Structure 1
């Protein structure tokens, strides 16, 4: 018979437990009470002594299943906890405990996977405050926690998807509250800080929609100084860079460049490139912003590149960096891992690594995702931490034409690479990738 039923049968009136009226024998064996104590105060003092967060391995590449803390959580001596001592409820068996200090909550939440932090916004106002004011991200930087998340929009889908680095967790983002024009038009995307930026055009003109991953919300961000499309872009993690492209107001091909600060939500002008170019690609390598390939004002294919050195605030031209590669109708598929530049050759589906000393490319073998069928369109090729990420259709898996996801740890000196299959294409998502970008935060 349950204790509640026993009380009901005997018609016992429930009275407030206070001091000597507390019967220890009724609570023998309960997890929250040790019968060697004689009062509520001693029970709570014992709980306070035992409530600790154990120290775990402090490797920055942490296991999300553990918390890397070495803290004793103890209440303030002048807290309401002591001035108004709690009482044990005879009916429910509850204990009132002091609130965890905000500093400790920040340390705990900072160690949670990035895509899961949004769930804590509704827990309490103090937690929402430390998420909004940047304390969580400052703590992540202090302890060296950084992870990659993938954001993707596939053909036929109405919502963006977010994946963790291992593609074990998949989340649907809220509906992007744009007009029909924006939803049906071509879009471009990149990440800066904890914001996903989606560039497009609404009925009233160019617009940038931003998704804040910590708050799980979309908002309209500040427009570029020169709104553009088909531009090169890259992210250093904290900032985003854009250069070249086609001006949406005049349709002129641009050589201007801009830098986005997610904290202030503003764009700052950078010096102009030496060449006007559109349908070019950008990467961030050796702490510099590279812009490669594209089409010139006359429509010719550019095999040269340019690199922006922020310390010197200048662009330097790199002649012939893409010489010998296929001139497709799409921007070059480029990715950087460990400051090594790789490209996805769209005619052969091969992976090439750039040899900086000789300004040439080395073939590292085939990628199990097809880029040739769409001449480079509909395929995602990105850096994902210390790995390369390839997403698109494949003829290798038994599921045939579905969207497949592969990663590999590249080695410029290897003769061949081993690609790891993360998604075999059996899902209903289209194999054609509309937009894909990686956030590292």
Structure 2
């Protein structure tokens, strides 16, 4: 390495070459043999580190052509194509990729092509091979193989060593083993295993000098400070979605927004709504920016085309730039940065405020009904009014609540009897969850929620009450074992989370082993209910995926022959679906909207007849279904042997405008109770109204047939008669036109609540300024 630059010592010449941009090195090699030797030497790499000229480059693997890597120079907007990765595995996917010591490392993974005979990816779902790319030598080298083959695993660099943990060795087996690689010695060693594994992909992040391993679907994070101390389990309740670490801070993309996520606090930093339809993309941090790379758009319900993306989007807190992999010119998008005096109110706020107020005026809540397990009493909720009738004593119930004023100050969104009938729970938009004793109808506990409550459930043993809020968190409260009616001052603790998705329904499995939650993002989650619920529920049994619109309701078919029960669900896609909760597999689907003739031929969202409620008839395999626009109910029959659903009967309420909003039944009685109505009706003289109907004909003597015709009882035939109707309806008779208006208002309100909205930037900013969902101090 003598005489690099005439008149300069080689040490000085080396530092001069170290300051030359990396992309020019291939040209510098052509100057002379001595220059080529120094350009490819480790001394030059060390010199670049010393003089501070080391560059951060973004490495991207393209799916097509296969195993092709590129490096992006963000300072010069330049793409550099690398030699093809010489792995024998075609279309390598689900691998780990990290950089350390100035080299790129590609670890594990497998082929993305499925072998139909085995179900494995091209016969190689997971490999243990390791490759490194040296940008100075411009070549790939095979390094020592991992101890275990793995795919979909966590892979990070911690203190100069590469650590891999978790993942899958085959498409059917997840692992908890972890190992560490020393790049200088080219040696792998085992390190302590993860505390738990899960049947889902995992990822790794280094934050604050610690390795964090996250499994998809779990709220817990497993943390490694250093190898000797092993892993610790923390429950940070982080949002789920693509993640990136930028200058030591964690950022998460969720529901079209970028959140800055700390341990238990998050805040929105920038909108990313254009990525809501893009899937399969990569997200990473580089310098002080977030890069969103590639992916595909589609398919969705209205568009079956798949459009591959070659874009690289650069997101910052102040703006956004777009870079195309094919066209390296940077296109700068418009970005408005308006400042408003804190004491002034922008003119557009007034317009948005009027719009928001109109929305609040028509924010109706459907009437709800719940029946005591042995039909001792019936409860109806409409608006903030909770009405209960005692069937045993044939009289209305007076609720006893120690709090001043009405029991609830805003619309009730969920009511539920416990399995043994000793407890009753009501909750709603006033962020209060009230637990009642059904013996005295005294409120024994009032729990404050941080957000509006959307669903409730009571444990089969009566020891825990769970409720879900509109932010997607399920909370749990423990109750006294002795069944005491003494007032309780309880504070809820988080049990699990659906991460910013409104939870629409909660159910415990008949054996009490699982808690099932459904949300507006089309998914149903089956979670193992822990022995110590106050410590959180961290084990997901399965996800039931198949609905193409929000899931609105859940119920269990439970017979003596099937004590574990079979889950059924209804949704905004007009279907009732039957599930195996252990595996999450879909057993059958019944398109009740199409069978009832309530779907039009076009595919617009508004033409779907949403399932508003489903109710299983105890000790038989009949399912009652209520959905929008149907004046009555549909009865489905479930064949447990063939695991199929079929339409048994359509029960119409002739001559009346009665579209049920909620259904209820009891273990005894052979009756199906229905309610229709709503609260906060805009433009009506009646603020809240409800109507009650009952269908008979469900006897244990013929539980699976309708030999005894299902009949809509007349008002004077309903248990409790006019007394019950006057209590639950508020009046014995109500104008049918009002009920039609209520049904239409409920339909509109459900769409507004559960179908996701796209807001303009201006309206989103206004909603931020006027939001009123701050945490309630307890």
Instruction: State the TM-score, normalized to the length of structure 2.
Output: 0.35
Give the alignment partner of residue 362 of structure 1, picking from 244, 259, 267. 267
The aligned residue for residue 113 of structure 1 is 21
Contact 1:239 1:262 in 2 (8 A): yes
Give the alignment partner of residue 420 of structure 1, picking from 321, 346, 360. 321
CA distance, structure 1, for counterparts of residue 165 and residue 69 of structure 2: 25
Contact 1:149 1:165 in 2 (8 A): yes
1:219 to 2:141 alignment: yes
Give the alignment partner of residue 182 of structure 2, picking from 242, 247, 261. 261
Query: What secondary structure, in the 3-state scheme, does the structure 1 residue paired with 2:251 have?
Result: strand
TM-aligned CA deviation for residue 340 of structure 1 = 1.0
Residues 209 and 371 of structure 1: CA distance in aligned 2, closer, same or farther (over 3 Å): farther
The aligned residue for residue 390 of structure 1 is 292
1:315 to 2:231 alignment: yes
The aligned residue for residue 80 of structure 2 is 171
The aligned residue for residue 563 of structure 2 is none
Computing the radius of gyration from Cα coordinates, the structure with the larger value is 2
Residues 193 and 114 of structure 1: CA distance in aligned 2, closer, same or farther (over 3 Å): farther
TM-aligned CA deviation for residue 354 of structure 1 = 1.0
CA distance, structure 2, for counterparts of residue 364 and residue 354 of structure 1: 10
CA distance, structure 1, for counterparts of residue 169 and residue 12 of structure 2: 48
TM-aligned CA deviation for residue 98 of structure 1 = 4.0
Give the alignment partner of residue 249 of structure 2, picking from 340, 354, 360. 340
Contact 1:114 1:214 in 2 (8 A): no
CA distance, structure 2, for counterparts of residue 251 and residue 118 of structure 1: 46
1:238-253 superposed matches below 5 A? 238-247=160-169, 252-253=173-174
Contact 2:203 2:214 in 1 (8 A): yes
TM-aligned CA deviation for residue 120 of structure 1 = 4.7
Contact 1:388 1:409 in 2 (8 A): yes
CA distance, structure 2, for counterparts of residue 147 and residue 371 of structure 1: 32
Residues 422 and 307 of structure 1: CA distance in aligned 2, closer, same or farther (over 3 Å): same
1:150-229 superposed matches below 5 A? 150-158=58-66, 159-166=68-75, 168-179=77-88, 182-188=89-95, 189-199=97-107, 200-201=109-110, 206-229=128-151
TM-aligned CA deviation for residue 281 of structure 1 = 1.4
CA distance, structure 1, for counterparts of residue 25 and residue 192 of structure 2: 37
TM-aligned CA deviation for residue 121 of structure 1 = 5.2
Contact 2:28 2:36 in 1 (8 A): yes
1:279 to 2:201 alignment: yes
Query: What secondary structure, in the 3-state scheme, does the structure 1 residue paired with 2:74 have?
Result: coil
The aligned residue for residue 720 of structure 2 is none
Residues 15-45 of structure 1 show CA distances to partners (whole Å, capped at 9, x for unaligned) of xxxxxxxxxxxxxxxxxxxxxxxxxxxxxxx
TM-aligned CA deviation for residue 292 of structure 1 = 1.5
Contact 1:118 1:216 in 2 (8 A): no
Residues 137-160 of structure 1 show CA distances to partners (whole Å, capped at 9, x for unaligned) of 222222233332111123322422
Instruction: State the TM-score, normalized to the length of structure 1.
Output: 0.59
Residues 352 and 224 of structure 1: CA distance in aligned 2, closer, same or farther (over 3 Å): same
Query: What secondary structure, in the 3-state scheme, does the structure 2 residue paired with 1:148 have?
Result: coil
1:235 to 2:157 alignment: yes
Residues 167 and 284 of structure 1: CA distance in aligned 2, closer, same or farther (over 3 Å): farther
Contact 2:69 2:81 in 1 (8 A): yes
Query: What secondary structure, in the 3-state scheme, does the structure 2 residue paired with 1:160 have?
Result: strand
Residues 256 and 151 of structure 1: CA distance in aligned 2, closer, same or farther (over 3 Å): same
CA distance, structure 1, for counterparts of residue 10 and residue 187 of structure 2: 30
TM-aligned CA deviation for residue 307 of structure 1 = 1.4
TM-aligned CA deviation for residue 103 of structure 1 = 2.0
Contact 2:270 2:316 in 1 (8 A): no
CA distance, structure 2, for counterparts of residue 239 and residue 130 of structure 1: 27
TM-aligned CA deviation for residue 242 of structure 1 = 1.8
TM-aligned CA deviation for residue 128 of structure 1 = 5.3
Give the alignment partner of residue 381 of structure 1, picking from 271, 279, 283. 283
Residues 167 and 107 of structure 1: CA distance in aligned 2, closer, same or farther (over 3 Å): closer
Contact 1:274 1:317 in 2 (8 A): yes
Residues 224 and 102 of structure 1: CA distance in aligned 2, closer, same or farther (over 3 Å): farther
Residues 177 and 293 of structure 1: CA distance in aligned 2, closer, same or farther (over 3 Å): closer
CA distance, structure 2, for counterparts of residue 313 and residue 119 of structure 1: 48
CA distance, structure 1, for counterparts of residue 65 and residue 77 of structure 2: 20
Residues 223-257 of structure 1 show CA distances to partners (whole Å, capped at 9, x for unaligned) of 11222110012235844332111125x96322222
Unpaired segments ≥5 residues, structure 1: 1-78, 82-95, 295-300, 327-331, 411-416, 428-441
Residues 310 and 146 of structure 1: CA distance in aligned 2, closer, same or farther (over 3 Å): farther
CA distance, structure 2, for counterparts of residue 176 and residue 302 of structure 1: 34
CA distance, structure 2, for counterparts of residue 121 and residue 251 of structure 1: 50
1:142 to 2:50 alignment: yes
TM-aligned CA deviation for residue 108 of structure 1 = 2.3
Residues 121 and 256 of structure 1: CA distance in aligned 2, closer, same or farther (over 3 Å): farther
CA distance, structure 2, for counterparts of residue 313 and residue 353 of structure 1: 29
Higher relative contact order (CA 8 A, sep 6+): 1
The aligned residue for residue 409 of structure 1 is 316
TM-aligned CA deviation for residue 360 of structure 1 = 3.4
CA distance, structure 2, for counterparts of residue 305 and residue 279 of structure 1: 13
Contact 2:282 2:295 in 1 (8 A): no
The aligned residue for residue 353 of structure 1 is 260
Contact 2:60 2:69 in 1 (8 A): yes
Residues 215 and 155 of structure 1: CA distance in aligned 2, closer, same or farther (over 3 Å): same
CA distance, structure 2, for counterparts of residue 267 and residue 371 of structure 1: 40
The aligned residue for residue 60 of structure 1 is none
Using the TM superposition, name which of 202-211 and 308-317 deviates more: 202-211
The aligned residue for residue 303 of structure 2 is none
TM-aligned CA deviation for residue 389 of structure 1 = 1.1
